[in-house]
Amino acid sequence: MNLAEDDQFRRAVAFRALHEADGAFVIPNPWDAGTARLLADLGYPALATTSAGLAFALGRPDAVNLVDRTETLRNAGEIAVATPLPVSGDLESGFARTPDEIAETIRLAAEAGLVGGSIEDATGEPGEPIYPLAVAVDRVAAAAEAAKALPFPFTLTARAENFGHGRRDLDDTIARLRAYAEAGADVLFAPSLPDLDAVRAVCRSVSRPVNVLAGGALGGFTVAELSDCGASRISVGSGLARLALASLVRAAREILADGRFEVLADALPYAEMNTLMSAPVSAD
């Protein structure tokens, strides 16, 4: 099921406007259509997919190129049609090595119903985890050109993955983000920043809205504190997926160890879940 052109345009404009407002907004990361509906019902303004959440749901590890473009975009499309909200896709490294292939990924993401997406400079290869800067810039430029050719304002996020791969080089990370902005990225993102000082340094050094990943070293800070550092958007990555899986593991261990089922009392009631999933998807 594809989105109507006017609906996708509406979502794209709304998503772009969120980045232009004062303060940061939170964009949570569902991993399937059901979790997307739950998050939309709670009142979030937009959603973003999670590569790790999808990989774990498929029984695979993340970040080693074991989930392909077709699977990723199928999942993203199901999330996009499940709610009336704008959806941005975690497109990992674009599922490609060449700029032409990156551009095709952006076009296919738009066809799937996404109004934004991220391209990272990680390779998925342990021996060479980060693309050389010149190569990474060419990839972002190709994605930006493809995005600008679409009939709606597709919001392209460029990710500098240094800190997620043990390269704790803030200067290089900032240099990469600046280069990606020059190449046409609309939003900039450096996952796994170590502290608020690093968040401030990134936000002060670039000319585009910055996405900040909550959790990890930044898990103890509030939306207001991250916003005060200059963040425009705050995502949770695979945090909600891992939290859900942690609840499952804890409950399953308790049942196995004690032979008791009281832990299931904390589950959302069946009737409530059924009602939530039965409600029509509406833009109102």
Residue range 59-113, pLDDT digits in tens = 999 999 999 999 999 999 999 999 999 999 999 999 999 999 999 999 999 999 9
Confidence of residue 2 (pLDDT cuts 50, 70, 90): confident
Does the pLDDT value for residue 232 go beyond 70? yes
Kindly report the pTM of this predicted structure.
0.97
Given a contact cutoff of 8 angstroms between Cβ atoms, the answer to whether 191 and 223 are in contact is no
Confidence of residue 135 (pLDDT cuts 50, 70, 90): very high
Does the pLDDT value for residue 257 go beyond 80? yes
pLDDT at 17: 98
pLDDT at 282: 77
pLDDT at 3: 94
Task: State how far the alpha carbon of 232 is from the alpha carbons of 13, 63, 98, 191, 212, in Å.
Answer: 16, 25, 30, 14, 8
Does the pLDDT value for residue 1 go beyond 70? no
Does the pLDDT value for residue 284 go beyond 90? no
Asked if CATH classification 3.20.20.60 holds for the domain at 5-238, the reply, yes or no, is yes
Q: How far apart are CA 264 and CA 204, in angstroms?
A: 47
